[in-house]
Amino acid sequence: MRLNLCEIIEMPGSSIPFSCELDEERLGCPSIKRFVSAPSAQGQIRNSAGVLTLTGTIKAEMVCICDRCSADFQCEKLVPLEVKLAADLSDEDNPEIFALEGNWLDLSDVLETCFILSTETKFLCREDCAGLCPVCGKSLDLGPCGCKKEIDPRLAVLGQLLDKNN
């Protein structure tokens, strides 16, 4: 979806709202199994003293796979949006600024990029998900497994470190 910003681009103080659905196919991420409903975004683009800022929220309800215990879980993800838009990019390396093409903004591109950046954090079924037993593979969220005591405590520490680094 492309938005024409000519109405606000020369008008400090003006704004236009937007509301749209996102293309699920383009939001793929290995930890997302499927979307429960179509992901959508709402917000506005405001001209504040000549600076265009897009604000709003992406909302997605999805079934994810826990990065630690591999269990499926359903969650609602809200991605807050705050993005600057610029006609010409003097600072091309700044990922927080998106370029306009003339008066046009590629809204889908902005929303997809923001969503994908937000999926780089861990997907956990719970903040404190215990993960899988490194020996037998049983989910420790379901209770302790028989072999827990046999793990060398030094290996357990190593496991935690590896988990943090991932």
- Where does this chain bind Zn ion (CB under 5 A)? 66, 68-69, 125, 129, 133, 135-136, 145, 147
The answer to whether 78 touches 50, Cβ cutoff 8 Å, is no
Closest contact distance (angstroms) between CB of 74 and Zn ion is: 13
Alpha-carbon distance values, 45 to 76, 78, 85, 88 (Å)? 24, 19, 9, 17
Closest contact distance (angstroms) between CB of 129 and Zn ion is: 3
Number of H helices, E strands in the chain: 3, 8
Q: Which is nearer to Zn ion, 66 or 85 (CB)?
A: 66
Interatomic CA distance for residues 44 and 47, integer angstroms: 10
Q: Which is nearer to Zn ion, 100 or 145 (CB)?
A: 145
Q: Which is nearer to Zn ion, 51 or 136 (CB)?
A: 136
Closest contact distance (angstroms) between CB of 83 and Zn ion is: 31
